[in-house]
Amino acid sequence: MSKLVVGLVQQSCSALRSENIGKSIKGIREAAARGASLVVLQELHTGLYFCQSEDTAVFDQAETIPGPSTATFGALAKELGIVLVTSLFEKRAPGLYHNTAVVFEKDGAIAGTYRKMHIPDDPGYYEKFYFTPGDLGFNPIDTSAGRLGVLVCWDQWYPEGARLMAMAGAEILIYPTAIGYDPRDPEDEQQRQRDAWITIQRAHAVANGIPVVSVNRVGFEADPGSGPGAFFWGSSFVAGCQGEFLAQAGEGSEEVLTVELDRQRSEDVRRIWPYLRDRRIDAYGDLVKRYRD
């Protein structure tokens, strides 16, 4: 089958887990009703983005795999007959936690997981306090909707991760995301940050000849500490194999997007832009170094 309808659920989040899950479920159902056979949720969609500050009590929010979220969303994937990409705060063991994407097959079974590899530690994004870097590598997840190159948020700034997924046969790059701007920044700086976020991901589509699906949260979330809080800029989008926009949500609204992808297009584009063929793999050894002196 050469066509694939993909759904994206862009939502705001509150401190009420049940409310957030309810929004996600409503969005998933809407996307499925529009014909989506693959639906993608945003990063950490069951709660607030808690990494704005450091608080050991937050570890109580983490859950195991399998656990409550996988039970809920696995059952929904089976009911609707869809492939579903979700995100959760994983408790692997006492003191060992990950930011993990879980992919469900249309029968409700877990098709695979991806643990976020790149972990930021910036003002308002203190993720190193909470998340251990992933140890599953950059390996696509095989599903009935295709071979999915699932990465998470901060991973989207690194061309290496996108390339390794493409080299392993990923047919789509998928980025569940939670990113926004500091409300104290001037408007032009806010716009530059959003544009950079969009541009880097469109570049991954171009450089690898495969579509990119990026799903971001939306709305203001206060910092439980003393910080200014964060405005998550939404703007979830799907880019085609040459970086062209196929769909894009707004910056300030909850939305469900659906878009039809042509699976044949990657093959067609790669035949005229054969980047994988022309890579000089004999000359890239220094990429495994931190810096070239």
Active-site amino acid positions: 43, 116, 153
Helix (H) or strand (E) holding 264: helix 264-272
CA distances to 10, 27, 177 from 20, rounded to whole Å, are 11, 11, 16
Which residues, 6 or more positions from 291, have their beta carbon under 8 angstroms from its beta carbon?
A: none
Residue 83 Rama label (left phi>0; alpha psi -120 to 50; beta): beta
Longest dimension (CA), the chain: 56
Cβ-defined contacts of 263-272 (< 8 Å, 24+): 263/1, 263/2, 263/3, 263/4, 263/146, 263/171, 264/2, 265/211, 265/240, 265/241, 266/171, 266/209, 266/210, 266/211, 266/241, 269/209, 269/241, 269/242, 270/209, 270/241
Amino acid, single-letter form, for residue 79:
E
Query: For residues 240 and 214, is the Cβ–Cβ distance under 8 A?
Result: no
Could you tell me the two tokens for 276?
């994988």
- DSSP 8-state class, residue 133: P
Query: For residues 134 and 117, is the Cβ–Cβ distance under 8 A?
Result: yes
